[in-house]
Amino acid sequence: MDLERNRKANPALISLSTLFLTGLLTLLYSWHGDPSNGESFRTLAELRSLSEDGKFFSLQEPLPFLLLSFWKSILGLNYIPAYLSFGAFFLSLGIHLCAYIMERESWKLNHYLFCYLAAINPFSYLVPLNMLGEVVSFSFLLVLFLSFRMETVIDLLILVSCTVLGFFSHFTFFLIGFTIFVIKAGTVGIREKKKQQSVFFKRRNLPKLFLFGYLSVFVLGIILLGNLNFYGAHSFVFMGQSVWKYLLGFGSFILILFVGNFLLRSEKELNSLPASIGIFALIVVSGYFTIRPILGLDKAKLSSLAKDVASLRGRLIVNQDERIYVSPEISAYIYFTSKQKTHFTSHPEIRDKDYILLSEVWAVDRKLLLREVKAKNTPYLFLSGERILINGFLWKRIQTDPSLKTLRTRSIEAKSELSDQKGYDDLKTFLISWFASSKAPDV
């Protein structure tokens, strides 16, 4: 009898395992030092802006960053340790919830080992560093999957609260995850309960009508989002890339958990000690690939750029009312490391006195500028490395002046790296204004 009880899934042990995996992942993330990918710097910029200025750095779904700021305050951590441990916790929580949904009856040692293998595999390991909002939304959606019953008022409250929290965490991921939830509830859960309902309920077939109606609205919504350029000029491409990214990241550990649980049920040998040793060996191999260097932004070049911007502003060569336009990743890095604010959102017309950053400008093009562009107020500023700041007046001249045509391609690329205003930004503005209006960014 005691052995039977020990085989039952124990919420306390699962919670301890979640915390242990959180610590392990935080240690592995910290192995590389500071994060080097652009999305991490954008998150860190949001965290610093919320902590020090009380506002968002840019337009984002608000909930993950507000939770991250609260996490940092409660634990008293610095920015990077708070960010890494927060992402590790939600990845660990999501994996354990997902595994518990697949197996609610009995948990043995190998169930925990499969959770660690799912978290440390090369595809899902970096999910929190690249998709923090999606990981938070995923956890709320899993709570919805786990607790959905619609038998009491509490079930209804859970449905509403998890839906709202998932939506405010990440709109795109929530749209996909909630659709999967509706399909599952409509084809499995409701169908099982329908057998015990009235004749009227059976004749009307309400679950199928609801499912058909929702999927119709979903497909229509996808078509509208694409045609209305909700995500920008290439909305359909963006949505396709997002689905592929989610399949590689979230789909990889879901597949590992599904296969692991299936084998643990069907093959008794996999519950043995030799099998545990084999799974542990796979975790070690996966861990080897996670501690290898992660390719990302060139922090040495970005650090020198941040110093250049601070120097130009400090010496009043560039005034505070003169904007400097750079890509979103570079802007986030500069703000996080030096708190110098730059602009990354493209405007229809760049003011003549504003500057835009050109990178990888060769020495011959520098000489060309010195020879061809002569003005009382120099419309360009040479920076360290192969970078130049040109003002809006010079950018417009480059587009039409044949003598400067070698710079035209690079100037167009520099402007294309800026973020465009799109419908998705309007939605984020609404979410922030509804959830935390006082923390809206200055854009």
- Bridge partners for 357 per DSSP: 389
pLDDT in tens, 314-353: 888 888 888 888 888 889 999 998 888 888 887 767 788 8
Strands 324-325 vs 388-391: parallel, antiparallel or unpaired:
unpaired
User: Distance between the two ends of the chain, CA-based, in angstroms?
Assistant: 64
**Greatest pairwise CA separation for the chain in angstroms:** 91
Q: What is the pLDDT of residue 200?
A: 43
- pLDDT, residue 365, reads 77
Between 171-175, 231-235, 331-335, the lowest mean confidence (pLDDT) is in 231-235
SS3 state at 41:
helix
Q: Is 60 exceeded by the pLDDT of residue 2? A: no
Q: What is the pLDDT averaged over residues 412-437?
A: 85
| Rounded Cα distance, 368 and 260, in Å | 63
What pLDDT does 312 receive?
85
pTM of the model: 0.88
| CB-based burial label for 319 (10 Å; 0-12, 13-18, 19+) | exposed
- DSSP one-letter string for 369-427: HHHH---SS-SEEE-SSS-EEEEHHHHHHHHH-GGGGGGHHHHHHHHHTSBPP-HHHHH
Mean pLDDT of the chain: 84
Residues 6+ apart with CB under 8 A from 115: 17, 21, 92, 95, 96, 99, 257
Please check the confidence at residue 6 and state whether its pLDDT lies above 50.
no
Which among 43-57, 190-204, 338-352 has the top mean pLDDT? Answer: 43-57
Query: Does residue 220 register a pLDDT over 60?
Result: yes
Q: What is the mean pLDDT of residues 357-366?
A: 83
Tokens linked to 342: 């730059």
- The residue assigned the tokens 């760049």 is 350
Sheet holding 355-358, edge to edge: 324-325, 355-358, 388-391, 380-382
> How does pLDDT run across 106-146, given as a tens digit for each residue?
888 888 999 999 999 888 888 998 999 999 999 999 998 88
Looking at the predicted structure, is the pLDDT value of residue 295 above 90?
no
Beta strands in 55-94 (DSSP E): none
Q: What is residue 310's predicted lDDT score, i.e. its pLDDT? A: 87
Residue 57 has pLDDT above 80, yes or no: yes
Candidates 100, 135, 134; CA nearest to 17 is 100
Q: Are 84 and 29 in contact (CB under 8 A)?
A: yes
| 3 pLDDT tier (thresholds 50, 70, 90) | very low
DSSP characters over 84-97: HHHHHHHHHHHHHH
pLDDT for residue 93? 95
Q: How far, in Å, CA of 90 to CA of 98, rounded? A: 12
Q: What is the pLDDT of residues 65-98, one digit of tens each?
A: 999 999 999 998 899 999 999 999 999 999 999 9
Residue 390 has pLDDT above 70, yes or no: yes
Kindly state the tokens that stand for 384: 């360290």
* Token representation of residue 79: 């920015």
Higher-confidence residue: 48 or 410? Answer: 48
pLDDT of residue 226: 85
Question: Is the alpha carbon torsion for 4, 8, 11, 13 positive or negative?
Answer: positive
The mean per-residue pLDDT over the stretch 173-185 comes to: 87
Please tell me which residue, 2 or 236, carries the higher pLDDT value: 236
Torsion sign, CA atoms 368, 370, 376, 380? positive
